[in-house]
Structure 1
Amino acid sequence: MPTPTLRTDRLSLTPYREADEDDFVALFQDERVACWMGDGVVPSEDADRALFRRIFSKVYATDLFDVWAVRKDAELVGHAEIKHTDEAGGHEVVYALAPAHWGHGLGREIATAVLRHGFETLGLEQVHATVDARNEASLGLLDGLGFRRLRDVEEPDGGTTRHLALGRPSLVTAP
């Protein structure tokens, strides 16, 4: 099933378009965003451009998982996905938001929309999140949505990743 469009009061989560490449790269090259994502900041745009191309050639082409461009009005302001990962032991929610849009409740809107999709459309019983233990904003957001801490994982670089989970609620409510 192709990645569907999700809507909140202020946002549209849509499949990426080829024309989104530069905005995607800018988001993932922003050190304030990238420091919380995956392996952190990558040294060149080339890796992020390759990642963007894999969204089309691998993820969308094979319906591997759902990944969205997050738009406010017509502007690309973030990224979201929900995918099965062995590291999380189930489906994991992933989201990123451009710093200019932090502090306005948009992260909660993104997470709520993706969680609703996971529980109501995909039929998941549980959704996981893995978050750098220093990322107080994301930890607070997830705590407010009802995620509970499962464990902390000490990383080889000395950091700590917090593994959280949320069981299927009777209803995921909008912010």
Structure 2
Amino acid sequence: MRATLTTARLVLRPATDADVPALRAHWNRPEVRRFLFDDTPVGVAQARGLLPDVWVVHKRTGTTFVGAVGLRQLDDVGHEVLYSLEPTHQGSGYATEAAAAVVDHALDTLELPYVVAEVDEANVASAAVARRLGMTPFATVPGPRGPLIRYRRRAISVGGQL
């Protein structure tokens, strides 16, 4: 079972079947899916398939739904951090805060050697989040809606060597 993660302002809890309707509604908002899921609607089966990889993000005070963050295998590239926020919470720093909790969990607790983010070239906000997470670009690959920039943050072992 994935752990519940907390930050200064947020609680990230593992998604469950009960979250499917809220996650679908969130991911199907045009402002949210613009750079996710190749801007195609998310069905029930797809949302359920993502549950093992997703945390639901709420404010620490109260139960306000903020968005979702995830960690999933990206082809043969490695584990990718994903993040999406409700439009009313965009620009608040929550994406960086939630994604940082997942990246730290992946590198420190799960002991992954690195975490990647795959960002549409036009998604300036998401690229800024990746940079704030300490990620650096390492590749550009074709995507269905244009170039995708791949960012990576490596784990640092004792002594600074991988």
So what's the TM-score if we normalise by structure 1?
A: 0.81
CA distance in 2, matches of 1:53, 1:156: 23
2:29 corresponds to: 30
1:54 corresponds to: 49
Instruction: Tell me which of 73, 79, 85 is aligned to 2:74.
Output: 85
Cα drift, residue 97 of structure 1: 0.7
Give the gaps of 5 or more residues in structure 2.
Answer: 158-162
Instruction: Tell me which of 136, 155, 159 is aligned to 1:168.
Output: 155
CA pair 130-144 structure 1, distance change in 2 beyond 3 A: same
Counterpart secondary structure, 1:33 = helix
Aligned-residue identity in percent: 34
Report matched runs for 1:3-82 at 5 Å: 3-42=2-41, 47-55=42-50, 59=52, 66-72=53-59, 73-82=62-71
How many aligned residue pairs are there? 156
Give the gaps of 5 or more residues in structure 1.
Answer: 60-65, 171-175
RMSD between aligned residues: 1.9
Structure 1 runs (4+) deviating above 3 angstroms are: none
* Contact 2:38-2:144 at 8 Å conserved across structures: no
Counterpart secondary structure, 2:35 = coil
CA distance in 1, matches of 2:46, 2:22: 13
* Contact 2:5-2:12 at 8 Å conserved across structures: yes
Instruction: Tell me which of 136, 160, 163 is aligned to 2:124.
Output: 136
So what's the TM-score if we normalise by structure 2?
A: 0.87
- Please say if 1:95 is aligned against 2:83: yes
Cα drift, residue 75 of structure 1: 2.2
